[in-house]
């Protein structure tokens, strides 16, 4: 494969970075190199993250927060240091505001579920409204559908413009005195759109609504500063940010987390338990019932160290450059329609598209036979697909290890797909 356009500027030293990711050296069927363009689905993991977890299992494995012995100390320290590192990574004012969950989905459900039982200021009931958008991941739709159905509140949402941006024209009507919660994705995993959170947060806070941000695609790609952002709660997930599976994070302001009732009940989240009733431990333990994903938190800390060593501003710059290059190349392809913004402005590194006359499953199958891994389907965003009148799409998504040559391989593969299915172009 040859590079078709001028190399974009702002790229990271991907040769060095790729050396850290064992899987990127893998050969696929037919001895083809892996061209992994599915990082919005899950990212690959560097040796540093894998090794940190292995070392922990081999040297310090123990349960946390419960044991006096040396291994228990080591494990507890490592787990709590992980929390501090992750707090620093998102500039959280206090590390006890960082709650470990199993993924973003659990973090978002934690909020929706506890709001179901919250009393006072945060209670949600008939007449109240919850606002989401048509571009949400199912994990930021279904929890709010369950909450509103169960409490009698109403679910409302931002529509989308043809370019795949939030339709902000009715924001003042949409977010109003009845609005209790606004929960929005920061960077869409399907359209790639980066949403104008500042404006929305300002409006939501004007009317006293809680703001929840699904930062699942944002924390991996952008420098995040929750103190500056101004949202009340944010959710993200380890496996999309070079971390392990089995771990996610909910960050929330202390006063809000303190006011919410507990989510899961059990070991570690209690202050005291009698058969007659129980009281809850202070944050963060209150929301971490049972044995937490200890080694996964340690792996996530290693992931955060890895990203920080590169610098999230540099990661964002690379993501921008590679996405701009991909958009340039894809726009040239006949019969290809991009769903979402077609210019790399306020745009993350996921590009979903359609090829006239070829179903996404078939596109990704042909690409896979060439070693190019992309995702086909609804990407857990059925309403956003419905908005654009399609059922599914093909998505290529990029990360800090993605190279322009891989984009070229994608474009080449799309042309081959069209030839295979005899689509004229």
Ligand X SMILES: Cc1ncc(COP(=O)(O)O)c(C=O)c1O
Interface with ligand X by CB under 6 A: which residues? 103-105, 137, 139-140, 185, 189, 214, 216-217, 237, 248, 267, 290-291, 380
d(CA 315, CA 312): 5
Helix (H, G, I), strand (E, B) or coil at 261: coil
| Among 159, 187, 211, CA closest to 350 | 187
Q: Does 241 sit near a copy of itself (CB under 8 A)?
A: no
Q: Which of 14, 95, 96, 104 binds a copy of itself (CB under 8 A)?
A: 104
Tell me, residue by residue from 272 to 291, as one string, x for binding to another protein by CB under 8 A and - for no binding.
x--------x---x------
* Residue 380 annotated in active site: yes
DSSP, residue by residue, 181-240? EEEEESB-TTT-BBP-HHHHHHHHHHTT-EEEEE-TTHHHHS---HHHH--SEEEEEGGG
- A 10 A CB-CB count for 222 gives 19
What tokens does 288 get? 């971490």
- Candidate segments 80-88, 272-280, 303-311, 345-353, binder of a copy of itself by CB under 8 A: 272-280
Q: Does 65 sit near another protein (CB under 8 A)?
A: yes
Q: How remote is the C-alpha of 327 from its chain's centroid?
A: 21
- Binding to a copy of itself, residues 242-271 (CB under 8 A): 244-248, 262, 264-270
Q: Which of 10, 19, 33, 72 binds another protein (CB under 8 A)?
A: 72
Nearest approach, Cβ of 310 to ligand X (angstroms)?
21
What tokens does 273 get? 């338990």
Q: Does 393 sit near a copy of itself (CB under 8 A)?
A: no
Which single residue is written with the structure tokens 């089995």? Answer: 246
Q: Which of 205, 253, 314, 382 binds another protein (CB under 8 A)?
A: 382
Question: Among the options 207, 256, 380, 423, which is catalytic?
Answer: 380
Contacts of 26 (CB under 8 A, 6+ apart): 34
Nearest approach, Cβ of 192 to a copy of itself (angstroms)?
18
d(CA 250, CA 136): 17
Q: Which of 4, 377, 405, 415 binds another protein (CB under 8 A)?
A: 377
Nearer to another protein by Cβ, of 92 and 367: the residue is: 367
- Candidate segments 7-15, 35-43, 201-209, 312-320, binder of a copy of itself by CB under 8 A: 35-43
d(CA 317, CA 9): 9
- Binding to a copy of itself, residues 109-128 (CB under 8 A): 109, 112-113, 117
- Binding to another protein, residues 211-270 (CB under 8 A): 268, 270
Burial label for 422, CB within 10 Å (0-12, 13-18, 19+), is exposed
**How many degrees, rounded to 5, is the angle at CA 252 between CA 249 and CA 258?**
120
Nearest approach, Cβ of 396 to a copy of itself (angstroms)?
12
- Kindly list the distances between the CA atom of residue 283 and the CA atoms of 119, 258, 268, 286, in Å, as whole numbers in the listed order: 18, 7, 11, 5
Nearest approach, Cβ of 381 to a copy of itself (angstroms)?
9
Nearer to another protein by Cβ, of 270 and 333: the residue is: 270
Q: Which of 366, 396, 411, 414 binds another protein (CB under 8 A)?
A: 366
- The DSSP symbol for 245 reads S
Nearest approach, Cβ of 382 to another protein (angstroms)?
6
In terms of phi and psi (left: phi > 0; alpha: psi -120 to 50; beta: otherwise), the region of 412 is alpha
Nearer to another protein by Cβ, of 10 and 261: the residue is: 261
User: Is the CA virtual torsion 156, 41, 213, 330 positive or negative?
Assistant: negative
What tokens does 376 get? 């086909």
- Candidate segments 119-127, 206-214, 384-392, 403-411, binder of another protein by CB under 8 A: 384-392
Nearest approach, Cβ of 54 to a copy of itself (angstroms)?
6
d(CA 240, CA 39): 7
Which single residue is written with the structure tokens 């908005």? Answer: 387
185 contact, one of ligand X, another protein, a copy of itself, none, CB 5-8 Å limit per kind: ligand X
Contacts of 162 (CB under 8 A, 6+ apart): none
Contacts of 324 (CB under 8 A, 6+ apart): 8, 344
Nearest approach, Cβ of 39 to a copy of itself (angstroms)?
10
Residues annotated as catalytic are 380
Which residues in this chain contact another protein in the complex, by CB under 8 A? 29-30, 65-68, 70, 72-73, 76-77, 268, 270-272, 281, 285, 359-362, 365-366, 368-369, 376-378, 382, 385, 391-392, 420-421
């Amino acid at each position: 494969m040859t590079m078709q356009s001028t190399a974009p500027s702002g790229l990271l030293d991907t040769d060095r970075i790729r050396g850290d990711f064992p899987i990127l050296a893998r050969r696929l069927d037919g001895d083809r190199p892996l061209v992994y363009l599915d990082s919005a689905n899950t990212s690959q993991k560097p040796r540093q993250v894998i090794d940190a977890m292995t070392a922990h299992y081999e040297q310090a494995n123990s349960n946390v927060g419960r044991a006096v012995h040396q291994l228990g100390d080591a494990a507890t320290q490592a787990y709590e240091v992980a929390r501090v590192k992750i707090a620093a990574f998102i500039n959280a004012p206090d590390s006890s505001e960082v709650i470990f969950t199993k993924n973003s989905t659990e973090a978002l459900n934690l909020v929706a579920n506890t709001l179901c039982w919250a009393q006072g200021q945060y209670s949600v009931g008939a007449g109240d409204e919850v606002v989401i958008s048509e571009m949400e991941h199912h994990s930021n739709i279904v929890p709010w559908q369950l909450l509103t159905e169960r409490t009698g509140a109403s679910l409302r949402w931002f529509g989308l413009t043809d370019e795949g941006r939030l339709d902000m024209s009715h924001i003042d009507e949409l977010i109003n005195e009845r609005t209790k919660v606004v929960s929005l994705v920061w960077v869409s995993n399907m359209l790639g759109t980066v949403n104008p959170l500042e404006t929305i947060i300002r409006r939501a806070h004007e009317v006293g609504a809680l703001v929840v941000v699904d930062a699942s695609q944002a924390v991996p790609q952008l420098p995040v500063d929750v103190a500056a952002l101004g949202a009340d709660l944010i959710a993200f997930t380890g496996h999309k940010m070079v971390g392990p599976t089995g771990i996610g994070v909910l960050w929330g302001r202390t006063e809000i987390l303190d006011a919410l009732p507990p989510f899961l009940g059990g070991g570690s989240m209690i202050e005291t338990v009698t058969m007659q009733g129980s009281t809850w431990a202070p944050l963060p333990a209150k929301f971490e019932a049972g044995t937490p994903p200890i080694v996964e938190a340690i792996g996530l800390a290693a992931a955060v160290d890895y990203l920080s060593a590169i610098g999230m501003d540099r990661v964002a710059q690379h993501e921008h450059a590679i996405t701009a290059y991909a958009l340039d190349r894809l726009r040239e392809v006949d019969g290809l329609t991009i769903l979402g913004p077609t210019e790399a402005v306020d745009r993350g590194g996921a590009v979903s598209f359609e090829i006239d006359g070829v179903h996404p499953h078939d596109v990704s199958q042909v690409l896979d036979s060439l070693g190019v891994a992309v995702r086909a389907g609804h990407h857990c965003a059925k309403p956003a697909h419905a908005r654009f009148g399609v059922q599914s799409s093909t998505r290529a998504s990029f990360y800090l290890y993605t190279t322009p040559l891989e984009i070229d391989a994608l474009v080449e593969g799309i042309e081959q797909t069209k030839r295979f299915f005899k689509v004229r172009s």
